[in-house]
């Protein structure tokens, strides 16, 4: 499951809608919506995210969060380390190989480290 899929499911269930009901309301198949929730489809397009937000009545911070999660929820990631330090390539390859074995607490620590780097990096990306 992706972060977007997890949040989408929570919003959908809070509204009391089935996947089929939400899918019909936003103009996609129930199979596609299921695949989005489970992380088997790539990140959704902006228009679809906006239709979901409107249909579920999501507002303000929660809407912004869902848009941001959609951007960060591509289940198949490519990392280009060309021109970076060799340790960047090593780290990217090791992460790709071992991420499935990391416990949630270690993933949380890794996310905190990356968020700290993002906030303190050049132009705060």
Give the C-alpha separation, 26 to 52, whole Å.
Answer: 6
8, 55: one domain: yes
Q: Is residue 76 part of a domain?
A: no
- Banded model confidence at residue 124, pLDDT cuts 50, 70, 90: low
Same domain, 8 and 44: yes
Terminal Cα-to-Cα distance of the chain (whole angstroms):
26
pLDDT level of residue 117 (50, 70, 90 thresholds): very high
Q: How far apart are CA 43 and CA 77, in angstroms?
A: 11
Total domain count, the chain: 2
- Tell whether 34 is covered by a domain: yes
Residues 12 and 63 in one domain: yes
Is 101 among the domain residues? yes
Give residue 13's domain range. 3-71
C-alpha span between 15 and 112 (Å, rounded): 31
Q: What pLDDT, on a 0 to 100 scale, did the predictor assign at position 25?
A: 98
Q: What is the pLDDT of residue 94?
A: 96
7, 65: one domain: yes
Work out the pLDDT band at 7, boundaries 50, 70, 90: very high
Q: Which pLDDT belongs to residue 32?
A: 97
How many CB atoms within 10 Å of residue 41? 19
């Amino acid at each position: 499951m992706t972060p977007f899929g997890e949040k989408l499911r929570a919003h959908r269930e809070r509204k009391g809608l089935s996947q089929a009901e939400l899918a019909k309301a936003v103009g996609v198949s129930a199979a596609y919506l299921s695949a989005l929730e489970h992380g088997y489809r790539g990140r959704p397009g902006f228009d679809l995210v906006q239709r979901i937000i409107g249909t579920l009545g999501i507002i303000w911070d929660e809407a912004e969060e869902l848009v941001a999660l959609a951007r960060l929820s591509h289940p198949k990631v490519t990392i280009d380390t060309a021109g970076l330090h060799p340790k960047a390539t090593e780290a990217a390859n090791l992460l790709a190989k071992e991420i499935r074995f990391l416990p949630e607490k270690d993933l949380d620590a890794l996310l905190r480290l990356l968020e700290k780097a993002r906030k303190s990096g050049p132009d705060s990306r």
